[in-house]
C-alpha cells in the first residue's frame, strides 16, 4: 500500500510540476516586475527604512511590527529549503538549477510585493477580539467576489495540507536525518522533541511566533551566511569556475537527471518556489498581521523576502556545495573507513599482472578543477601494451547503506578492449562488465531476472567516476551470505591499444538534502558542517514549523471554522513525528504536490487583482513623494 501511495505521489507531482506551473511562476514574476517598474529595485531603500522601524506607528491596527512580520515570514522560508532544498536542486538538476533559482528569486520579489499587499489590504478583522487574518483565501473572496469562493476553499485546503508537508514533515525529516547521521540520535527522538517544542509555541498564536522568529532567524542567518562568505573568500580564485559551471549547466543540462535542460529548469524553479514561496501566497498570511494602515508598505517589506532567502542564503549554500566539488558524480560519501588509493605501494594488496604498475608518471590533469577524482600522486596504471592481463584490488567491505562501488577512471583514446569483474570473498565471480560508454546491467541467473548490479559508462579521454551500482536485493543477501560483504574488483585488459588509469576505489552512498550540505561545509571546516549546520537545521526547522503551523491554521479556519484549530494543531504536531521516521522521497513528493497546487489559484488571483495593487501603489508613492507620509520616528 505504501509503495502504491508513493508511486501515486510521484506521478501526481510530475503532472502538477510541469511547464504550466513553472510558466505561471516565471510569468507572474516577469509581468509584475514590468508592470510595477521593477519595484524590487526601485523601493529597496524604502524597504530598509521600514524594516528599521522609521515608519512604525503603534496606533495602527495589527499585531506585529514590519520587522517581526518579515522575520515571521522568513522563518517560514529561510530554513531547510535553503540548506537542504538547494542541495536537492543540485542533486536533481545539477549546478545549473542554481541560475533558475536566482531568476525566480529576483522576479519573485515583485510577485511577493503583490501578494503581501493584497494579503494586508483584504485582511479580515474580528470585531470582537480585534484579531486580523489575511492571505490568498481572503483576497480571492473579497477581491474577486463570492463566485470565486470555491477557488479560495481549494487554496485553503491545499495550504492546510501543505503545512503538514512543507512545514512539518519535511522539516522534521531533515532535522532527524542530520542528527541521526552525525550524532546517532534516533529519528523518533528528534521527531518527538520537535513536536513538543512546537506545541509549546504555536499555542500562543502569531504574536508568540513573531517574537520567537525575530530572535532565531536573524542570528542563525548571520552565522550561516558569514560561514559561507568566509569559505567563498578563501576560494575566491575559483569563483569564475563556479559561475562557469552554473551558467554552462543551466543551458545544457549535462548534469541533470536525464540530461535534459527541462529537468534543470524544473528542479531550479521548484526548489526556489519551495524556498522563497513567491507564487504560493503563504507569506501574505504572516504579513497580514502587521501593524500598518498602508498595505503597500507591507508589500515593499515582503519583497525583501526572496532577496534574503534566495539571492543571499540559497546562493551561500549553492556556492559552498559547488566549491566543495560535491556535485555530479561526486555527490557520494564513503560508507567504509577505507578508500583504496595507491599512495603507499609497500602496503597495498593489489595483485598486478604484466603491464600494470602503481605509477605517478604522466597523469592527465582533471578537466574539472573542483572535482577530486584522484587522491594523490600515484594511480594504478596499465601501459596499453600487454593483452589478457589484469589487476585485482584488495577487498572492499560493504556496509548496509552501501549503494555502489565507485572508482576514478581515465582511458586514453584507442582501440583497446577492457572489462571489469567482480569477485566475492570465496573467489567466485559475480559479474563481468565490458568497459564501454553506455550503462550496463548484470542480471541474476535465468528464472529470476532481477538486476544484480549495473555499471555506468566510461568515455575515453577524460577522468570520470564510474559506479558499480548494487541492487538492494543483493544487499539483503549479505546477512545470509557473509562472503558477499567483501568484494574484489578486477580491472582486466583484453587487448592492447589504450592506457588505463584507476584510483580512489570506495563503497559509496549518494548524498542528498541536508547530508550533502553538511559534507560540503565540512570539506572546508572540519566540524562546522557537522556541528553548526546540524544545530542550524534543527533551529531553522523549528522556526519554519511554527510559522507554517499558523499558515495551516488560517487555512483550516477559512475552510471550516475556528473550531477546527485544535484539531489542526494536534494533527500538525503528530505529523511532525511521522515526518521524522518517513523516507525523504515520500515526504518531498507530498510537499511538492501541495505546493504546486497552491500556486495555481494564487497566481490566477493576483494577476486578476493586480489593478488594485497598481492603484494602491500609485497613491502611496505619490503621498510619500509629496511629504504627506513622513517617518514616525
pLDDT digits (tens, 9 = 90+) for 324-346: 888 888 888 888 878 888 886 54
Q: What pLDDT sits at residue 301?
A: 82
Q: Are 461 and 411 in contact (CB under 8 A)?
A: yes
> What letter does residue 233 receive in the DSSP assignment?
H
- CATH of residue 180's domain is 1.20.1740.10
Kindly indicate the confidence band of residue 285, based on its pLDDT and cuts at 50, 70 and 90: confident
Residues 142 and 243 in one domain: yes
Q: What is the percent of the chain with per-residue pLDDT over 70, rounded to a whole number? A: 84
Residues 505 and 564 in one domain: no
**How many other CB atoms are there within 10 angstroms of residue 183's CB atom?**
11
Q: Is residue 619 part of a domain?
A: no
> pLDDT tens across 584-595, in order?
677 777 777 887
Task: Compute the distance between CA of residue 204 and CA of residue 72 in angstroms, rounded to an integer.
Answer: 14
Kindly indicate the confidence band of residue 149, based on its pLDDT and cuts at 50, 70 and 90: very high
> pLDDT tens across 347-385, in order?
467 889 999 999 888 888 876 777 777 888 889 999 999
Domain finish residue from 444, 477, 510: 510
Q: What pLDDT sits at residue 216?
A: 64
Residues 282 and 170 in one domain: yes
- CATH of residue 497's domain is 2.60.120.260
Residues 368 and 385 in one domain: yes
Residues 339 and 327 in one domain: no
Question: Residue 105 is placed in which grid cell?
Answer: 528569486
User: Which of 270-279, 458-467, 500-509, 557-566 shows the lowest per-residue confidence on average (mean pLDDT)?
Assistant: 270-279
Domain that holds residue 589: 18-44+58-331+516-614
Task: Compute the distance between CA of residue 456 and CA of residue 328 in angstroms, rounded to an integer.
Answer: 13
Task: Compute the distance between CA of residue 629 and CA of residue 128 in angstroms, rounded to an integer.
Answer: 30
**Number of domains, the chain:** 2
Residues 346 and 489 in one domain: yes
Residues 499 and 523 in one domain: no
> pLDDT tens across 215-261, in order?
666 677 778 778 888 888 888 888 888 888 888 887 775 444 444 55
Residues 534 and 551 in one domain: yes
The total number of residues shown for the chain amounts to 633
> pLDDT tens across 607-620, in order?
999 999 999 999 88
Chain Cα centroid distance, residue 400: 25
> What letter does residue 479 receive in the DSSP assignment?
T
133 bridge partner residues: 124
Q: Is residue 132 part of a domain?
A: yes
Residues 293 and 342 in one domain: no
Give the sign of the dihedral formed by CA 320, CA 326, CA 332, CA 336. negative
- Work out the average pLDDT over 14-18: 72
Residues 184 and 309 in one domain: yes
Q: Are 327 and 321 in contact (CB under 8 A)?
A: yes
Amino acid at each position: 500500500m505504501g509503495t502504491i501511495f508513493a508511486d501515486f505521489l510521484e506521478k501526481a507531482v510530475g503532472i502538477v510540476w510541469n511547464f504550466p506551473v513553472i510558466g505561471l511562476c516565471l510569468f507572474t514574476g516577469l509581468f509584475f516586475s514590468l508592470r510595477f517598474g521593477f519595484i524590487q529595485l526601485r523601493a529597496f531603500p524604502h524597504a530598509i527604512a521600514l524594516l528599521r522601524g522609521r515608519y512604525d506607528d503603534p496606533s495602527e491596527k495589527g499585531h506585529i511590527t514590519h520587522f517581526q512580520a518579515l522575520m515571521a515570514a522568513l522563518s517560514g522560508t529561510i530554513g531547510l529549503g535553503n540548506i537542504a532544498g538547494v542541495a536537492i536542486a543540485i542533486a536533481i538538476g545539477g549546478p545549473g538549477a542554481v541560475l533558475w533559482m536566482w531568476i525566480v528569486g529576483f522576479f519573485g520579489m515583485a510577485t511577493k510585493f503583490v501578494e503581501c499587499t493584497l494579503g494586508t489590504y483584504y485582511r479580515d478583522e474580528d470585531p470582537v477580539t480585534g484579531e486580523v487574518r489575511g492571505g490568498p483565501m481572503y483576497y480571492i473572496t473579497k477581491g474577486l467576489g463570492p463566485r470565486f469562493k470555491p477557488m479560495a476553499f481549494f487554496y485553503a485546503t491545499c495550504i492546510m495540507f501543505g503545512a503538514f508537508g512543507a512545514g512539518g514533515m519535511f522539516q522534521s525529516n531533515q532535522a532527524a536525518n542530520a542528527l541521526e547521521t552525525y550524532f546517532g540520535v534516533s529519528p523518533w527522538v528528534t521527531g518527538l522533541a520537535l513536536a513538543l517544542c512546537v506545541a509549546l509555541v504555536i499555542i500562543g498564536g502569531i504574536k508568540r511566533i513573531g517574537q520567537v522568529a525575530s530572535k532565531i532567524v536573524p542570528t542563525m542567518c548571520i552565522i550561516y551566511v558569514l560561514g559561507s562568505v568566509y569559505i567563498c573568500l578563501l576560494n575566491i580564485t575559483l569563483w569564475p569556475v563556479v559561475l562557469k559551471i552554473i551558467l554552462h549547466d543551466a543551458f545544457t543540462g549535462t548534469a541533470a537527471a536525464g540530461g535534459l535542460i527541462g529537468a534543470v529548469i524544473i528542479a531550479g524553479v521548484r526548489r526556489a518556489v519551495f524556498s522563497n514561496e513567491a507564487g504560493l501566497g503563504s507569506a501574505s498570511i504572516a504579513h497580514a498581521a502587521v501593524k500598518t494602515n498602508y498595505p503597500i508598505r507591507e508589500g515593499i517589506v515582503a519583497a525583501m523576502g526572496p532577496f534574503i532567502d534566495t539571492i543571499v542564503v540559497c546562493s551561500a549554500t549553492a556556492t559552498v556545495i559547488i566549491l566543495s566539488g560535491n556535485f555530479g558524480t561526486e555527490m557520494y560519501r564513503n560508507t567504509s573507513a577505507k578508500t583504496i588509493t595507491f599512495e603507499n605501494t609497500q602496503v597495498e594488496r593489489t595483485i598486478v599482472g604484466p603491464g600494470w604498475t602503481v605509477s605517478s608518471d604522466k597523469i592527465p590533469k582533471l578537466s574539472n578543477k573542483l572535482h577530486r577524482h584522484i587522491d594523490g600522486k600515484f594511480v594504478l596504471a596499465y601501459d596499453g601494451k600487454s593483452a589478457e592481463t589484469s589487476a585485482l584490488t584488495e577487498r572492499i567491505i560493504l556496509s548496509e547503506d552501501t549503494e555502489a562501488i565507485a572508482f576514478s577512471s581515465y582511458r586514453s583514446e584507442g582501440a583497446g578492449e577492457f572489462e571489469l569483474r567482480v569477485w566475492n570473498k570465496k573467489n567466485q565471480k559475480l559479474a563481468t562488465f565490458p568497459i564501454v560508454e553506455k550503462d550496463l546491467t548484470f542480471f541474476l541467473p535465468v528464472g529470476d531476472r532481477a538486476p544484480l548490479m549495473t555499471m555506468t559508462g566510461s568515455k575515453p579521454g577524460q577522468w570520470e567516476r564510474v559506479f558499480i551500482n548494487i541492487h538492494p536485493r543483493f544487499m539483503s543477501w549479505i546477512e545470509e551470505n557473509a562472503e558477499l560483504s567483501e568484494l574484489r574488483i578486477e580491472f582486466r585488459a583484453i587487448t592492447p591499444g589504450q592506457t588505463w588509469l584507476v584510483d580512489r576505489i570506495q563503497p559509496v552512498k549518494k548524498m542528498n538534502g541536508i547530508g550533502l550540505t553538511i559534507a560540503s561545509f565540512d570539506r572546508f571546516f572540519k566540524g562546522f558542517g557537522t556541528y553548526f549546520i546540524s544545530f542550524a537545521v534543527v533551529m531553522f526547522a523549528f522556526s519554519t514549523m511554527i510559522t507554517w503551523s499558523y499558515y495551516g491554521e488560517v487555512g483550516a479556519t477559512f475552510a471550516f471554522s475556528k473550531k477546527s484549530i485544535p484539531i489542526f494543531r494536534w494533527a500538525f504536531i503528530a505529523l511532525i513525528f511521522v515526518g521524522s521516521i518517513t523516507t525523504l522521497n515520500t515526504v518531498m513528493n507530498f510537499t511538492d504536490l501541495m505546493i504546486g497546487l497552491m500556486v495555481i489559484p494564487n497566481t490566477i488571483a493576483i494577476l486578476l487583482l493586480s489593478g488594485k495593487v497598481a492603484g494602491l501603489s500609485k497613491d502611496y508613492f505619490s503621498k510619500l513623494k509629496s511629504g504627506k507620509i513622513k517617518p514616525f520616528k
